[in-house]
Structure formats: C-alpha cells, structure tokens
C-alpha cells in the first residue's frame, strides 16, 4: 500500500495514499482499535455534512468565508450526502466522548477532497483548511451534538414513525374485521370472561397510538441544535447572528424543522433530548414486546397449544422436525425489543456523563439511539408484512375454548350470587363436566335459565364503547 505524509500539531503521520482523510483521523484509527465492526454510523456523518455545508454558507453570508471556499465545501458535502465517500469514514464509536475525531475526520475529508476538486495536489498549499475553513465558527463540542440530533431526528421521521404507523394501521383493520369474533379472555394466563378478538387487538392499537404520541412529543426538543455554542456554550469565535442563521440553513438543506437551541450550555453539557426521545422508543419497545408475545401465544400449537389465531407460515421451523413452523416474526420483533431496552440503559448512563460544560458520552448515545430507531421501524414493517396482515381467527378452536371455559359462570353472579356460581365452577372442574350440567345437578337453576343467562356474546360489553 502506498502512503503519503499528513501533518497536524503533533507531527507527521503516514496516511493511505488513496484516502482523503488526514493526520487526526489516522491517529484515531491507530489509537482506538476497539470493536472493528462498531463504525461510527453513516447517519452521523451525513449529519455532519448537512451542518458543514450550512456553516460554510452561513460564514460566507456573514462575510467571514470566501465564495470559492463555500462552494468547494458545499460540493464535497453534497457528495458525502450522495454516499460517494462512505469508505472515507473509518472511525469507531469507541473514541473520545466528545466525538472530536469524527468531527476532524469529516473536516479532513472535506478539505482534501476540495483540494482535488480545485485541481491541486496534497503537496500544494491547502485551498480549504480543515480547521480554519471547514470547521470555521465551530467546535467538536457543538458539531457532534448537532450531527447526532440531525441523524436521530431524520431516523425517527423517516424510518421509525412510518414503520410503527404501518403496523398500527394493520392492527386497526384487524380489530375492525374481528370485532364480533367472541373468544375467551385470559388473565394471569388463566381463563377469564369473554371478549372479542377485535377488542383484544384494539388494545394493541391503543398501545401503539400512545407510543407514537409520546415519541412525536419529544421531537420538538430533538429538533434543537447546538451549533453556535462552540467550545463551552458561549459561542466564542462565531460572527454575530451565526447561531440563528446556521440553523435556518440546516433546516433548508435537510428539509426538516431544525432550530437553534434556546440554551447552548444545555445543548453541549446535557443530552436530555436524546434520553427523552429514546425513552419513548423504549416505551414503544415494551408495547411491541407485549404484542409480539400475545400473538405468538395465541397462535401456539397448532394442535397442542392455544391456537386461536392462524399466522402465516413463512419458512420451515426445524432442521429435524418435518412440517414444523415457528412464529419467527414474533421472535424477531421481541428480540428487537430486548435490544432497544438494553440500549436505553446505555443511553441513560450516557446521559449522566455531563461534567460541567460537556457531556462526554456522545458517540455511544448517538449510535445506540440510531440502532434502536432503525430496528423498531424495520421490525414493525417486517412483522406487519410477514405476519400481521395474514392473521386470521381459528374459529373452530375459539369455539372449543369458549364452550369449555369455566369462567362463563361469571354471568351467573348477579342471578344466583358469587358463592353458588363458584360452587358450580369448582364442581364442574373437579368432575370434568360442563357448567350447565353441574348448575342443574346442584339445583341452582334450570336448563332454560342457564341458556338464557349464560351467553358469551352478551358478556363482552357494548362494542359501541370500544
């Protein structure tokens, strides 16, 4: 491999000749060989590209950067956003907690790529300097939190929310379609009074709607960007009007409603917006875990389990048991939920690491957030398309369970009292007989009275109230 020499304030560094990055990136590559597969997410890099382009335009508008440099920086940032230089960002998550090396990675790539676009060589004087021009009016301490907010906001808007809404809409359709399919309810995993499948699914719909509402309510805080705070929040080395204008430029280039943070000291030293938004993602994960588990239990069997719903058979389920089919989409969904809940612990711990004027767990918080947001969105779409849309009731099994349930005796509470109703249920269970037979044998009511009073379809409440 051929190398070239790059310089920084600490001296010379050998850098692969075909790469655009410079000395600080190479130092980080050598110093943080931790988790080779844990690369800094490209979404963060794209967040940097938006803010570097916005900063260049803002600095030019405010008279502190030439048009030539603005245009070169802007051109390279557009190339990064077009995924033309994905291999130029080799750094891992496990680096400095401020993300300084990733900020400099972007600065160096923009600088050196601009050098080539300007028709120069690496040995020529730099047309665009990584610190003085690409990083002008910035600090790693305000660029990384800005990049992470851009990345996280975009992921939630573009992947997470659409995925959840797709699954919610399917479950809503199923709830409506199955609103009159009466089945036995279960509490404590034991038989309870009847309800409809539609009512049961309406609970899943409500969970997702509340989760979506909570998540969307966090977006206002997440849309605040730190850029303009520079080193400690004071905005040192920025021209007047920079913070507001650069936020407007980011909003313009990204098409999303970003705005300057009301308090830059908070924006650098605390990442409560990330903690808050991921808390909503955790809530959704808890809801999805419940939904996934319910559906796989309701579909269990198909002959020796509950088997009240039929889910699509997508692939063979065993390498040794012919014909076995498993609830793989429910398993994938609930594993995603476990990962998201675990990520929330890391993000919560990361949120506690704000020491004086700077939080120093930025990379791990951003990476975990992006993983959670993407996983939830993708898993909802997968579960929807490969499972939820194909759910159908198993009418024969539903009727079998309903007719055999002892908890239908609850309908007799107001007719003969709790004690007598309990006696009927216990006797039927002990003898393995039907409720109706024991009610008559015990002399508590006639066959006609039982048929009149014990009707599962009358025990589900008013469907109009659902």
Task: Give backbone dihedrals phi and psi of 453, rounded to 5 degrees, phi first.
Answer: -95, -30
Contact between 207 and 290 (Cβ < 8 Å): yes
Output the pLDDT for position 1. 86
Q: Which pair of structure tokens corresponds to residue 125?
A: 């004087």
**% of the chain residues with pLDDT over 90:** 97
pLDDT per residue as tens digits for the range 218-240: 999 999 999 999 999 999 999 99
Quick one: average pLDDT of 440-462?
A: 95
Q: What is the DSSP letter of 146?
A: H
Determine contact, residues 263/279, Cβ cutoff 8 Å.
no
C-alpha span between 401 and 395 (Å, rounded): 10
Among candidates 230, 69, 63, 40, which has minimal Cα distance to 134?
69
* Torsion angle of C-alpha atoms 36, 231, 20, 256, degrees rounded to 10: 90
Contact between 23 and 214 under an 8 Å Cβ cutoff? The reply is: no
pLDDT at 257: 98
Name the token pair of 369.
């957030």
pLDDT tens column, 141-178: 999 999 999 999 999 999 999 999 999 999 999 999 99
Structure tokens of 433? 């007989």
Q: How crowded is residue 405: how many other Cβ atoms within 10 Å of its Cβ? A: 21
Annotated binding site for substrate: 98-100, 129-132, 139-141, 187, 319, 324-326
Q: Coil, strand or helix: which one is 89?
A: coil
The answer to whether residues 102 and 95 touch, using CB atoms and an 8 Å cutoff, is yes
Return the active site residues.
188, 318
User: Which CATH number describes the domain made up of 406-458?
Assistant: 1.10.40.30
Element (H, E) at 355: strand 354-355
Q: What CATH code is assigned to 3-136?
A: 1.10.275.10
Instruction: Give domain limits for the chain.
Output: 3-136, 145-189+196-233+255-394, 406-458
Average pLDDT rounded to a whole number, residues 256-270: 98
Could you tell me how many residues make up the chain? 466
Q: pTM for this one?
A: 0.95
CATH top-level class of 145-189+196-233+255-394: mainly alpha
Give the model's pLDDT for residue 38.
81
pLDDT band at 463 (very low <50, low <70, confident <90, very high): low
Q: Is the peptide bond before 166 cis (omega within 30 degrees of 0)?
A: no
Centroid of chain to Cα 439: 53
pLDDT value of residue 10: 93
What was the pLDDT predicted at 374? Answer: 98
Closest to 420 (Cα-Cα) out of 432, 429, 409: 409
Burial class (CB in 10 A: 0-12, 13-18, 19+), 67: exposed
354-386 pLDDT, tens digit each = 999 999 999 999 999 999 999 999 999 999 999
Phi/psi of residue 446, nearest 5 degrees: -90, 170
Residue 466 has pLDDT above 70, yes or no: no
The span from the CA of 245 to the CA of 61, in Å, is 9
> Positive or negative, the Cα torsion across 234, 237, 239, 242?
negative
| Residue 464 clears pLDDT 60, i.e. is over it | no
């Amino acid at each position: 491999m051929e190398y070239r020499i790059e310089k920084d304030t600490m001296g010379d560094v050998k850098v692969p000749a075909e790469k655009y990055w410079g000395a600080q990136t190479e130092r980080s590559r050598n110093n943080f060989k931790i988790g080779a597969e844990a690369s800094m997410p490209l979404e963060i890099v794209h967040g940097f590209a938006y803010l570097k382009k916005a900063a260049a335009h803002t600095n030019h508008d405010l008279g502190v950067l030439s048009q030539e440099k603005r245009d070169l920086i802007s051109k390279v940032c557009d190339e990064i956003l077009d995924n033309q230089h994905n291999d130029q960002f080799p750094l891992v998550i496990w680096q400095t907690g401020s993300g300084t090396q990733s900020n400099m990675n972007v600065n160096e790539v923009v600088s050196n790529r601009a050098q080539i676009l300007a028709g120069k060589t690496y040995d020529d004087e730099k047309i665009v300097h990584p610190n003085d021009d690409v990083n002008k009016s910035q600090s790693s301490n305000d660029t990384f939190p800005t990049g992470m907010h851009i990345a996280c906001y975009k992921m939630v808007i573009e992947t997470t929310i659409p995925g959840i809404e797709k699954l919610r809409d399917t479950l809503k359709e199923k709830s409506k379609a199955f609103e009159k399919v009466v089945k036995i309810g279960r509490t404590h995993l034991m038989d309870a009074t009847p309800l409809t499948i539609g009512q049961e699914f309406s609970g899943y719909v409500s969970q997702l709607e509340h989760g979506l509402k909570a998540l969307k309510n966090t977006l206002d805080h997440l849309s605040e960007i730190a850029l303009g705070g520079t080193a400690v929040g004071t905005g040192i080395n920025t021209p007047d009007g920079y913070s507001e204008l650069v936020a407007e430029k980011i909003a313009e280039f990204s098409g999303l409603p970003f705005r300057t943070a009301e308090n830059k000291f908070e924006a650098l030293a605390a990442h409560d917006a990330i903690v808050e938004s991921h808390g909503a993602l955790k809530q959704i994960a808890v809801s999805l875990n419940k939904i996934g588990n319910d559906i796989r239990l309701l579909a269990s069997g198909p002959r020796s389990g509950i088997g009240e719903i039929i889910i699509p058979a997508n692939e063979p389920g065993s390498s040794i048991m012919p014909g076995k089919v498993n609830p793989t989409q429910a398993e994938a969904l609930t594993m995603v939920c476990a990962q998201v809940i675990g990520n929330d612990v890391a993000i919560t711990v990361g949120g506690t690491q704000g020491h004086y004027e700077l939080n120093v767990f930025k990379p791990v918080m951003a990476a975990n957030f992006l993983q959670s947001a993407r996983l939830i969105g993708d898993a909802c779409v997968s579960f929807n398309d490969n499972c939820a849309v194909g759910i159908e009731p198993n009418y024969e099994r539903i009727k079998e369970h309903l007719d055999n349930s002892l908890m239908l005796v609850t309908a007799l509470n107001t007719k003969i009292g709790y004690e007598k109703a309990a006696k009927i249920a216990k006797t039927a269970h002990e003898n393995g007989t039907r409720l109706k037979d024991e009610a008559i044998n015990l002399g508590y009511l006639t066959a006609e009275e039982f048929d009149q009073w014990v009707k599962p379809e009358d025990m589900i409440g008013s469907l109009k109230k659902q």
